[in-house]
Structure 1
Amino acid sequence: MLNRFGIRWWCFFVFIGAGLLILGFFGCAQTGSVKVGTLFAYTGDLATGGPFLRKGADLAAEHINAAGGVLKRQVELVHKDSETNPDAAIEAAQALVKDERVPAIIGCQSSGVTLAVANSVAIPRQVVLISPASTSPDLTNLQDNDFVFRTTPSDTLQGAVLAQLAKELGFKSACTMYINNA
């Protein structure tokens, strides 16, 4: 399990990677800051992770800006609460796209919420969506026109790796618990 230090570094590298991916979506002739939306849970079932992800995003933006920004433009993060709720997250994502005019959103933590935002906002509005935590295999097969990404492996891959590890460690039985919301 990741300790607090490990979580901070994981968040940092997730957002650096997301920043580099987003880099390709901006032309050299543009001026002003680069707005990127974040859609993390500050309320709801996954609220404990939202503040850590926000700190990771803020740290990444700080480092990117200190290094000259994205194509010499400063990164400006616009944070919204997904509430760990598909309807609330869709509304927040629509506000990020319509009101803040972000070309990319980093979030959500729940696969069910990510799929809802992808299908209702990101794909139809052609906005990049990068999830730092969604693991549903449904994201792998999503017809997204290359607008939806994730930085963590699918449950399918995680299951195979854990099975191999259990075999190597000599375990004979296992217990599986899951949330079936995606």
Structure 2
Amino acid sequence: MKKANLLSALLLASIAAHAQPPGKDAAPLGLELGKTKCARMTPGPNRVKTGMSPWAGGDTVEIKRLDRFNLPGLTHATVNCDAQDTVALITLTFDRSALDEVSKKLDARYESRRKTEPNAENGYAEWEAANGSLEMLYARDSKQFTLAYWAKGAKAKYFTYSGTPDRKPAAPATPSPTQPAPL
């Protein structure tokens, strides 16, 4: 009996050690990143399919009735799905007046990764969630800001900023025979 209790305690401790911290998953608008199937979002006057996401291969859906989410300042919401019909990116646009409130909420919920200086020409902030990452982008004098919720691995999969592995580096420039070589 003692052995069974000990094994049960070890099993529970192992599960607890590998479990995600509660509340650290990103699920904006109630759609969990990387898990929610876009087919779950039934079409209708509140959800309008606006086309296909050329970079992810799935539907792009615009959410129309934003007041029901109780997010002050929210003016636009778009959901991008991947080719497997899973939510890959949710983009939320807010009035600039909500910037401080939204930033504080994100700081309280997620681990902050990077932020630009408050007086920078363009603002950028990044947070890490258990199931993805969040990016906030804005210009200093803009009337709005954008918050992008990326499913885990989606940003790296669809947007590589350092080039692609199959792309060969450009050949070094060689001086033409009519021009003298630089000193």
What is the TM-score when the length of structure 2 is the normalising length? 0.27
What is the TM-score when the length of structure 1 is the normalising length? 0.27
Q: Whose helix fraction is larger, Structure 1's or Structure 2's?
A: 1
* CA radius of gyration, larger in: 2
Q: Whose strand fraction is larger, Structure 1's or Structure 2's?
A: 2
